[in-house]
Structure 1
């Protein structure tokens, strides 16, 4: 048999690279359009517009950026944790209702196993929970930065309107921050419902997120 052709670096990492490019492009676009919108609000209140570099340090930019980040990390963290024990019959996103899954087997310290598996003990335990842990850490870090940015932006607007600023403790009781938070969380939960439910009846040939096209609707898992 002929030797398989070696894959290029891009082919081996194309999913990450393409989404990283999309992330950078849309983040830059968000920053630019947010800068324009914020300056328009400032000028409407009689203030002096900001330079683009100055805008990147404002609460307006920090809040808008991490408002989205924290909801995404919450979504993925809960998804990773809840799919351990919860099921949805017929969904490509669910484990089998009864049959044992490869992901549930006990780790073995084989030659090619990751270093924490070979170490064992508490290091192995942490590693076995590391995917959900990193999403939890990123969620709380993003939530804190969203709160910080939203508080700064709120006080900037208060100053423009010649009103007193609020402390962080006062602001956390205001509905604005929680409105921003919950509107993002509910959209993330809806997207999970959509992917879990639609994969029961709909297919995408070639996608690992879909069951095979000819799979029965009530066949659970990929």
Structure 2
């Protein structure tokens, strides 16, 4: 196998989803541009170019409101599954492993191995941070994208109101507005539903060859077993 083929094989999941992300983002931009211009024409205003649309708050808020909900999903899932269990689900740890687990189980400190990440064995604050770095990053990305949604959202909200000759509102006022919470909660509820559904459906249903599923022949009650 050549080096290029080996790279593609070893990184196929990231590359495939990254490409899918770019394609769907482009599709969203094209569809959003058409919808935005339809609204402008209906209001007897001049339509925008595609490049101009990409710089609008209307496009930015649609993108960021989806990003924040996705990162919230992963943040809650990563931290929640430390303690929360689901009997029979491969999405759950084994029932006797609730909590952060021992240093030996996590291979940190004196139990770190030669191939372990360097900060797994250093102890102190660096090890404590690295032990929670994935969830911390998801939390930071969620907060940043939620903040971006609020900034772009108030700009889009005010642009629409100005076209209707209504007074704009400030950022703090927008945080309490129905528009902000409608955008936010419609995404949160769908993410929570998806995660909860995956946790319980994977107890009884199988997908051969997927690490998100138990082996086809595993008992329904087998927990923390991946195919």
What range describes the TM-score normalised by the shorter chain of this pair? over 0.9
1:198 alignment partner in structure 2? 201
Normalising to structure 1: TM-score of the pair? 0.92
Secondary structure, in 3 states, of the residue corresponding to 1:212?
A: coil
CA distance in 2, matches of 1:99, 1:34: 46
1:128-172 CA distance string (max 9 Å, x none): 000100000000001011111111111111111122111112222
Report the secondary structure of 1:84's partner residue: helix
SS of the residue corresponding to residue 134 of structure 1 reads helix
Match of 1:64 in 2: 62
Q: How does 1:167-182 map to 2 (within 5 A)?
A: 167-182=170-185
Shift of 1:117: 2.0
Give runs of aligned pairs for residues 3-152 of structure 1, distance below 5 A: 8-98=6-96, 104-107=105-108, 108-152=111-155
3-state SS, counterpart of residue 98 of structure 1? helix
> Do the aligned partners of 2:120 and 2:127 also contact (CA within 8 Å) in 1?
yes
- TM normalised by structure 2 equals 0.90
Of structures 1 and 2, the one with the larger relative CO (CA 8 A, separation 6+) is: 1
Which residue pairs with 2:216 in the alignment?
213
Report the RMSD for the aligned CA atoms in angstroms: 2.0
CA contact (8 A) 1:59 1:152 kept: yes
Aligned residues: 219
* Unmatched tracts of structure 2, length 5 or more: none
CA distance in 1: counterparts of 2:204 and 2:112, whole angstroms: 39
- Report the CA distance between 1:5 and its aligned residue: 9.5
| C-alpha spacing 1:150/1:99, structure 2 compared with 1 (3 Å) | closer
